[in-house]
Amino acid sequence: MMGRRISYRDAMREALREALQADPRVFLMGEDVGRYGGTYAVSKGLLEEFGPDRIRDTPLSELGFTGLGIGAALGGMRPIVEVMTVNFSLLALDPIVNTAAMLRHMSGGQFSVPVVIRMATGAGRQLAAQHSNSFEGWYAHVPGLRVLAPATVEDARGMLGPALADPDPVLIFEHAQLYNMEGEVPDQVQVDISSAMVRRAGTDVSLITYGGSLSKTLQAAEELAALGISAEVVDLRVLRPLDEATIMASVRKCRRVVVVDEAWRSGSLAAEVMARIMEQAFFDLDAPPARVCSEEVPIPYARHLEEAALPQAPKIVTAVRTLMGQPA
């Protein structure tokens, strides 16, 4: 299939433009999405193309404009709400968790909330503790939400359309270090928002990850191959609902597993993935599951400390070699 090479940022912008062109009910709202062109330049040029009714700059109130987006969805619109960073989304937890996620249940199925909420997540850019967290695992805890983490340019281009077609709320977490990444995108993009994806086939160990950790995990798999260890890399992509079938198939094939998660270890999505593996595939394992997560500290500002706090390819390689009984 023919394709082209574009950046993650441009892929997201193309997806937004396509959605706005296809459906007059779709509009984008958030801080600096209009005149400024978006904090990460994703919406640059869209205000000029679609006008202020479709590209709406909001006040600095995540609680307020997220609630407005949910109300617009209930009123028949298809809003895309952009929250500048996942840290700021904590100010909007009440409308996201207590309203959007629960209204179908609370109304006995009478109402759905077809809102898409996009936000940047993750660390690695020296923005210090209050702008560097990975809270997508928190949201994946909540019934009623679909949680997506596009880690490739193709997924960035293809996930927004299906998310807008979902009658229930969808959260899209875009790792901020991915916006400049370039990748191949086919002319016809078809991405489902239900399944994980095996990004690299292997036989000795299953490396399960998502989002900004995918590239580090693939790098680790390359280094492991040079050591004679065949690593399979599974990109979760969809954090809720988890694609258990793909996870278990990989674990049963490789019989060893390391989960890589930029969130903190305690109460992490990695812990949930490991628990499900132990529940469903315990007797298929040749070694206890392991995980590589961020250190249990607020993310430091200093670059060398930030890098030390986050999962990195060498940490993943060491975890796998330990699992394989090899001296590091």
Residues involved in catalysis: 62, 131
Torsion of CA 160, 15, 36, 87, to 10 degrees: 20
8 Å CB contact between 146 and 113:
no
Q: Give bridge partners of residue 147 from the DSSP assignment.
A: 171, 240
What gap in Å lies between CA 170 and CA 149, rounded to an integer? 11
Hunting for tokens 């206890």 — which residue is that?
288
Q: Which contacts of 91-94 are long-range, i.e. CB under 8 A and separated by 24 or more positions?
A: 91/61, 91/62, 91/63, 92/62, 92/63, 92/66, 92/67, 94/63
Q: Is 232 exposed, middle or buried (0-12, 13-18, 19+ CB in 10 A)?
A: buried
What is the per-residue DSSP string for 77-125? -EEEEEEEETTGGGGGHIIIIIIITTHHHHTTTS-----EEEEEE---S
Specify the DSSP class assigned to residue 42. Answer: T
**Exposure of 54 in the CB half-sphere (CA atoms within 13 A):** 18
